[in-house]
A and B are shown apart, each in its own frame.
Chain A
């Protein structure tokens, strides 16, 4: 891969992440009385801790590295300032202290809720990529057939549903009416397990409905995009050539059309990660899944800004890195984009 392409993509990602940190700083300072109010009204922090944090975040220093005054006209350069202190704190993993969680550090609070969400989104992505691409490829290849009409129709309907709108009916039918699955949580509350296998089974029983929801939601979108990608590829010269050679229909699809139609999907899947994360937030509320989504909503209700900002930082940096990854993979797969 060309090093210039690599360098440009890396630089873009770095600038974006810097801008996100900057945005977080501005938001944090935009709130009335903040960060003083947010910091000092936190009853769970000892006065010593507050003093230490004040010093660490440079709250007695000027806001920006350069301060301009009009009366008298002067420009001062501040070596110690809140912006640099904030960037330094963020880089060293100091994201502040939660209000709702009794002064626990934001990193710890988020860390505890990280894995449930990763498991949900991870399994959901894998399942829906397989299902969505297969369904989309079939529909696009047999364009206009009954299967295509049916598949595309269902995909479009699923695509129009926020995840919680898919999840609530599933909960009504399979948990409330049929009683096949538990209604909420990740493990049965207060259960004692005779073996780790038992615990794992309990976990999977809780996982089924949320996982089904996220998979259904994502499959709709992926299959629509894969379908149009296949339809586009179908009219390419190399597909015509493959047909003219007398290859079987299956083989033309598998060897010639499918891999090429897959290319744009790499980027699309990475870009859609931002939406998936958003959907997961509402989904976790429906199933009371103890992940980042329920944490976000709890923090929102308690106006726990430090936690909200920590989540925003984590999720947006993840999405930027996913995009960077997709760009690099795309660069390896398709030499045409490097120029």
Chain B
């Protein structure tokens, strides 16, 4: 920030000083937001936990070395925790700590991609339906309601093998294997409806504002108004919604992997728990095989929920948990 701007400018800023003014406003809003966020203790704790997991997900090999496989396993089968393997080993002799840290990358990547699809699709439908109104709104919202009512997890279970049968399990895109991509797509397809509903209702109120009328009067098209006037005003809501969606995406990914739709070659936490279940770990009392990945799932889902709720309280004008 420059300190040269006169604090009490008597005239409205123009030209380049208008841009400076805009940045000054943005910085002030960001500071105000930051001040409100730090006051939310739960949100700060959630954010701290997520930062730790983000670091693990970005560079897992730095902490625990490369992902162990059946051939590079470093221990014996189902060893309890020891100095060499602080969380013990699985039935193939792989170090559980190694698997769990690498699982962070798989779980978080799938969560992130699924969230992107969900939020982009949900926001697009919500903005278009809310802004255009009329029969477009009607059709889109019936479509949305259909997806809201459907038990989406069950739909995901039958969609995943169908898509896999069509594309084949060996296909790859950007180096991500088809099995994982299918999970991403399936979560995206089945969870955008809530976002669409929320964004639509906010769009409905913004549509009535004066500056939208003004833009229309000076000849702006619908697409332009949606992009330049509606979108910037719902972007806060989209961010809050994205964080909450991330929690459900990780939750759903874990469940889908647990019932056998995951990729054994890129184990997420759900996939590790699935291996534990099929190796009979609960019955054998092999708690070290279950507790680390399960704790990670709970911590990440909980943290995203805490951060999402804090953001929603601050950013969403209609937040239900405000009081």
Is B323 on the interface with A (CB-CB < 8 A)? yes
Q: Are A176 and B284 in contact (CB under 8 A)?
A: yes
Q: Give B42 Cβ to nearest chain A Cβ, in Å.
A: 9
B121-168 residues with Cβ-Cβ distance < 8 A to A are: 142, 145-146, 148-155, 157-159, 161-162, 165-166
Q: Give A93 Cβ to nearest chain B Cβ, in Å.
A: 20
Is A301 on the interface with B (CB-CB < 8 A)? yes
Q: Are B283 and A183 in contact (CB under 8 A)?
A: yes
**In the complex with contacts A164-B255, A300-B261, A301-B260, A312-B154 CB distance below 8 A:** yes
Is A129 on the interface with B (CB-CB < 8 A)? no
Q: Which of B90-98, B105-113, B205-213, B297-305 contacts A (4 or more CB under 8 A)?
A: B297-305
Q: Give B122 Cβ to nearest chain A Cβ, in Å.
A: 18
Is A333 on the interface with B (CB-CB < 8 A)? no
Cβ-neighbour of A274 out of B153, B290, B306 (below 8 A):
B153
What separation, in Å, do the CA atoms of A286 and B258 have in the docked complex?
10
Q: Are B166 and A169 in contact (CB under 8 A)?
A: no
Q: Give B273 Cβ to nearest chain A Cβ, in Å.
A: 7
What separation, in Å, do the CA atoms of A12 and B146 have in the docked complex?
10
What separation, in Å, do the CA atoms of A297 and B284 have in the docked complex?
22
Interface residue total, chain A, C-beta cutoff 8 A: 56
Q: Give B304 Cβ to nearest chain A Cβ, in Å.
A: 9
What separation, in Å, do the CA atoms of A9 and B200 have in the docked complex?
22
A298-327 residues with Cβ-Cβ distance < 8 A to B are: 300-301, 303, 305, 308-309, 311-312, 315-316, 319-320, 323
Cβ-neighbour of A156 out of B149, B153, B302 (below 8 A):
B302
Q: Are B161 and A169 in contact (CB under 8 A)?
A: no
What separation, in Å, do the CA atoms of A281 and B256 have in the docked complex?
10
Nearest to A30 among chain B residues (CB) is B162
Q: Are A160 and B302 in contact (CB under 8 A)?
A: yes
Nearest to B156 among chain A residues (CB) is A278
Cβ-neighbour of B291 out of A169, A231, A273 (below 8 A):
A169
What separation, in Å, do the CA atoms of A293 and B210 have in the docked complex?
53
Binding site of A, secondary structure by majority: helix, strand, loop or mixed? helix
Q: Give B279 Cβ to nearest chain A Cβ, in Å.
A: 12
Is B53 on the interface with A (CB-CB < 8 A)? no
Nearest to A170 among chain B residues (CB) is B282
**In the complex with contacts A16-B146, A32-B166, A165-B298, A297-B259 CB distance below 8 A:** yes
Is B37 on the interface with A (CB-CB < 8 A)? no
Q: Give B180 Cβ to nearest chain A Cβ, in Å.
A: 17
Nearest to B301 among chain A residues (CB) is A160
Q: Give A276 Cβ to nearest chain B Cβ, in Å.
A: 9
Q: Are A168 and B277 in contact (CB under 8 A)?
A: yes
Scoring A residues 17 to 50 as 1 if CB is less than 8 Å from chain B, else 0, what string do you get? 0011000000100111000000000000000000
- Other 11 A-B pairs with CB < 8 A, given A157-B302, A312-B157: A160-B305, A271-B149, A273-B151, A274-B149, A274-B154, A277-B154, A278-B154, A282-B259, A305-B158, A312-B155, A316-B151
10 closest A-B pairs by CB: A278-B153, A274-B151, A160-B301, A160-B302, A171-B282, A176-B285, A183-B283, A165-B294, A308-B158, A297-B259
